[in-house]
Amino acid sequence: MGRLEEPTADFAREFGLALATTDLDEALADPAVDVVIVCSPTDLHADQTARALRAGKHVLCEIPLATSLGDTDRLIALADEVGRRLMVCHTQRYFPALIEARRLIAAGDLHPHAIVSRYMFARRKNVNWTGRERSWTDNLLWHHGCHAVDAALWLLGATEVETVAQVALPGGDLDIPMDLTVAMRTPRDQVATVAMSYNTHIPLHDYLIIGEETTVLFDNGRLRDKDRTLVEGRGEDFDDPIARQDAEFFAAIREGREPAVSGHAVRPAMAALQAAQDTLDARRRALGPEAQHPRLP
């Protein structure tokens, strides 16, 4: 099911699919459909996931599951109510280097004091990561912020945090927040800081894990400490993590269990993002009609 008839039909022909439609209800009514994969624009995820669950389908949803904590909680409850598997594509949990970092922490070989994450690249025009123009606007906070915040909390094993955020007012050609910082503190007094931007001319995506025993850095798929490389990087090759993620989803369906990255599992990150959204909303209300990031010369 797609938004435009021609590319949807082309996709169906390429993969030998019997049905090609622009009507989600038509697809959901097909008894041959057991699973729905939601990879639509961010703002549609919650509604389409809910409709699929109500139709009795298992759902794998692209990140984020929703753009509010309230919708997240409603989807978690709905999946439990209808007895269907709900998984979210937090693919960074399947990066080999981050899996090793999580193993070190879980095994007690690394006791982290803090994590500093940077997730930054240039996206001042309305294009996707391949440079393709699109008709909808991405969301730095709820999409890419969801990746970075969830990965940091997953590495720490944190299920609740206190959150303080600073989010730049919407501005530029996209008229969305383009820069933000989210700082979180766990009950064990660990601090995680996530800095993000769509404005940078130098792309950065890393996690610096500052531990009692050592410090390790995830950068471009590689994990290293101050002396050696622990896991070799794979550059931009994300096929293996995506394949492992998808395999877990289908295994959870076959085995009748909750998937590893379920709605329940990602709720801590969604709560932190909601705190950041609340901060932005409060600032915009306080500023009223002037709540627009100034354009730079």
pLDDT tens digit sequence for 265-286: 999 999 999 999 999 999 988 8
What is residue 289's predicted lDDT score, i.e. its pLDDT? 72
Classified as helix, coil or strand, 36 is strand
Pick from 17-26, 46-55, 125-134, 184-193: least confident: 125-134
Beta strands 162-167 and 58-61 are: unpaired
**Claim: this prediction has a pTM higher than 0.75:** yes
| DSSP for residue 196 | E
Residue type, 164: V
CATH topology of domain 5-88: Rossmann fold (3.40.50)
Q: Are 206 and 219 in contact (CB under 8 A)?
A: yes
Task: Please identify which residue in the block is written with the tokens 């057991």.
Answer: 34
Q: So where are the chain's domains?
A: 5-88, 91-235+264-290
What is residue 291's predicted lDDT score, i.e. its pLDDT? 65
CATH class label, 91-235+264-290: alpha beta
What is residue 83's predicted lDDT score, i.e. its pLDDT? 97
CA 157 – CA 254 distance, rounded (Å):
27
Q: Are 183 and 114 in contact (CB under 8 A)?
A: no
pLDDT band of 292, cuts 50, 70, 90:
low
